[in-house]
Structure 1
């Protein structure tokens, strides 16, 4: 039996639940909610579920837009990126994801920081 991070996170349904809760936190945060004002959140959730599933070693390939191209015109700052990552970490904690697995997810997401952040803090 496979023991990928994807499996340890509980697979697609569990990752989808984490993503849903994560975006609830993000859109409730005045500092970063504006990045999602004109975003189809159903599509965003689907893309994020696919992205996390892919970076966690799941049986999917991420088919969304290139990270740099997708975020280039948003003007995301390092501080805002850190807030969003903090929401992801808190959500993973809320879902009782073990620390090693939380760190693995955050490291995978963090590896895209240079592509996502366009305005240093």
Structure 2
């Protein structure tokens, strides 16, 4: 039979608490180290390129939206969209295109047009198996651009 004095019990409890605290800190630091940027969560360059390609295919199939792209050089548009999504999601890229406002002036994009395009982006994200939390994080970054894109 082992007897533990009150003083030894406090010391054992303190050691156990300290070990538990250190273990918890190590666990939390491991979680922080695994935290990827939004860009990485999207699959970095390869993932963003695949999302962009799916998005463009979705747009091309929509007769209500496709006419907005009739005068667009799709190859250049694709590259600028990849750059834009990279920058917005925290990737180490340089966006070489015009501002959202300048690139949409004169296109008369309505809220319905904007919503349809967002729907096609969401579909592209789903097609590439992007988790809902990551989709929502990207959409939250893009949503403030609404005013720069619509009604001018």
Q: TM-score range by the shorter chain?
A: over 0.9
Counterpart in the other structure of 2:144: 111
List runs of 5+ in structure 1 lacking aligned partners. Answer: none
Distance 1:87 1:37 in 2: 17
The structure whose residues are more often helix, as a share, is 2
Alpha-carbon distance in structure 2 between the residues aligned to 1:83 and 1:56 = 21
Shift of 1:111: 1.4
Please state if 1:15 is matched with 2:48. yes
Give the Å deviation of 1:77.
Answer: 0.3
Q: CA deviation at 1:63?
A: 2.3
Match of residue 96, structure 1, among 129, 133, 136 = 129
Question: What are the ranges of 5 or more consecutive residues in structure 2 without an aligned counterpart?
Answer: 1-32
Q: Matches of 2:136 and 2:148 in 1, distance apart?
A: 20
Partner residue of 1:26 out of 26, 42, 59? 59
Q: Who wins on radius of gyration, i.e. which is larger? A: 2
Aligned residue for 2:71, secondary structure, equals coil
Inter-partner Cα distance in structure 2 for 1:110 and 1:44: 20
CA distance in 1, matches of 2:117, 2:104: 14
2:79, 2:59 → 1: CA distance?
Answer: 16
Superposition deviation, residue 94 in structure 1? 1.1
1:118 and 1:63 mapped to 2: Cα distance?
24
Q: Deviations over 1:32-84 (max 9, x none)?
A: 10000010001000000000010000001322101101101100000000000
Partner of 2:94: 61
Q: Spell out structure 1 runs of 4+ moving beyond 2 A.
A: none
